Structure 1
Amino acid sequence: MATGRNSSTRVIITGGAQGIGFAVANRLADEGCHAIALIGRDKEKGKAAAAALKAKGVDAIFIRADVADTGACGSAFSEALGHFGSLNALVNAAATSARGSLTDTTPELFDRIFHTNVRGPFFLMQALVRHLLEAEKAGSIVNVLSMSAHCGQSFLAPYSSSKGALATLTKNAANAYRTNRIRVNAVLPGWMDTPGEAVVQAQYHGAGPDWLEKAEAAQPMGQLVKPDQLAGLVAYMLSPESGVMTGSLVDYDQNVAGAFPE
């Protein structure tokens, strides 16, 4: 249902051309957000995503950038700020879940994962917070983590570590800027049904076209997490409706961290 709770939100969304990022953008548009900058690497997907938002009456732009590149993050933020004049929200949804265990991860793979999943979000958060402090305005940031931040599988050692680092950064920034009314929260989704996950399952696990059907049949609630479901929570966290909520890491899954089979 369309609401106006995000009518004052002016947001940058990384990974905004598909999956979680685009689902969040769509939800924000339905909630009255009129200023959305999508950041991603695929120009064609980005243009299509921005066009879909424009059809809803949103002033939407796509900025081609790789968040693993700190310089590109700075340029993308400057371009979005130049277009909209002001910004007050950020969603760090872009990530890589490339596989690697403790024993087989190379320094190059480790750096690629941490540059994408931690370094990029860090400096985009820095850019927004500096802008908000200078303007003396309130703002909201939501980082997309993963249930793997609690531990993760053996083949996700660097990925899980990166999400754990982002979890600590979320709380650190929330604590540092709460008196400036800059709120920082995070969501930790479980196994998700996204275009990116389909690629990962085929690339790393040899999964066939029926991977999703098999995966969902084995889940407690008979499905994987859907981007549209998660988007509602992210939109709430960004909105003024979430009040003073800050420093929260919210698990979004059908499996409970720390539980064991009975």
Structure 2
Amino acid sequence: MNMLDDKVVLVSGGSQGVGGAVARAVAREGASVLLTGRRTEPGEALAAELTALGAQAAFVRADVADVEQARASVAAAVARFGRVDCLVNSAGLTSRGSLLDTTPELFDAHIAVNLRAPFFLMQGAVADMLSRHAPGTIVNIISTSAHCGQPFLTPYSTAKAALAGLTRNAAHAHRFDRIRINGLNIGWTDTEGEDATQRAFHGAGDDWREQAGKSLPMGRLGRADEIADFVVFLLSDRSGVVTGSVIDWDQNVIGAID
């Protein structure tokens, strides 16, 4: 449908998982895409895949925990494509920690990736939009853990809750600039990163997806491509005037009690 025709989209954490799915989806919808990530090989491979399909795509290695690298990725998008019309903050850190066992280093790592990086990526993208007096759209990938989260996700939940607040604050600040900023609180999703997390922290075996599905209302995990389609909608004009919304993208109803 070319919902993002002639748009330039910057996707942080765009080399795999939800970010990779978003990169594919926005390219399919006509956008030029700059994807970033810490791992060069999968990032360059995905950019090459999208280019082979006829999209304008490029990869820039960036560890967004480093503010200067985050800022440089915005500059790279402007240098390569002339502007940033849309930003998707998909890079994330999901390592485990409770209130009692989280070290200052782990806490700072979660803040750096899950909160500080989106803040400064948004700062750079919005500054570019304002310099051109142009509208734009931003989608922050948050988490249903922003509502509370499990006890072993304390620093993660803390950072994601703050990101939800940042999403609303920035949307309010720039609504008259026609810059729409929304967020998705995504639930349990089948990604490469989640597979690694389940194996590293929970001793999961090869059947963990099937076992997880048995506990979920729809009988399966969410899929990254489904999230990506929702992100495309929020980035596009099809979502109208919606801004400042943090949407629960999950199969469980937050706050419900059986």
- Do they superpose with TM above 0.5? yes
The two structures have a TM-score, normalised by structure 2, of: 0.98
Counterpart of 1:111 (choices 96, 108, 114) is 108
Question: Contact 1:47 / 1:62 at 8 angstroms: preserved in 2?
Answer: yes
Query: How far is the alpha carbon of 1:4 from its aligned partner?
Result: 1.5
Once residues 199 and 150 of structure 1 are traced to their aligned partners in structure 2, the CA distance between those partners, rounded to angstroms, is 24
Query: How far is the alpha carbon of 1:209 from its aligned partner?
Result: 1.2
Q: Which residue of 2 aligns with 1:32?
A: 30
Once residues 157 and 241 of structure 2 are traced to their aligned partners in structure 1, the CA distance between those partners, rounded to angstroms, is 28
Structure 1 unaligned residues grouped into runs of 5+:
none
Aligned residue-pair number? 258
- Matched residues, percent identical? 50
Counterpart of 1:130 (choices 120, 123, 127) is 127
SS at match of 1:187: strand
Q: Which residue of 1 aligns with 2:217?
A: 220
Once residues 27 and 103 of structure 2 are traced to their aligned partners in structure 1, the CA distance between those partners, rounded to angstroms, is 41
Q: Which residue of 2 aligns with 1:172?
A: 169
Once residues 4 and 65 of structure 1 are traced to their aligned partners in structure 2, the CA distance between those partners, rounded to angstroms, is 28
Runs of 4+ in 1 over 6 A off after TM superposition: none
Once residues 60 and 198 of structure 2 are traced to their aligned partners in structure 1, the CA distance between those partners, rounded to angstroms, is 28
Counterpart of 1:153 (choices 125, 150, 153) is 150
SS at match of 1:188: strand
Counterpart of 2:6 (choices 5, 8, 17) is 8
Q: Which residue of 2 aligns with 1:187?
A: 184
Q: Output one character per residue of 1:139-175: Cα deviation in whole Å (capped at 9) or x when no partner.
A: 0000000000010000001100110000000000000
Letter in 1 for 2:133: E
Letter in 1 for 2:40: K
Question: Contact 1:117 / 1:162 at 8 angstroms: preserved in 2?
Answer: yes
Structure 2 unaligned residues grouped into runs of 5+:
none
Q: Output one character per residue of 1:167-198: Cα deviation in whole Å (capped at 9) or x when no partner.
A: 00000000000000000000111111000000
Q: Which residue of 2 aligns with 1:59?
A: 56
Query: How far is the alpha carbon of 1:75 from its aligned partner?
Result: 1.4
Q: Which residue of 2 aligns with 1:196?
A: 193
1:221-236 alignment runs, 5 A limit: 221-236=218-233
- Determine whether 1:70 maps to 2:72: no
SS at match of 1:254: coil
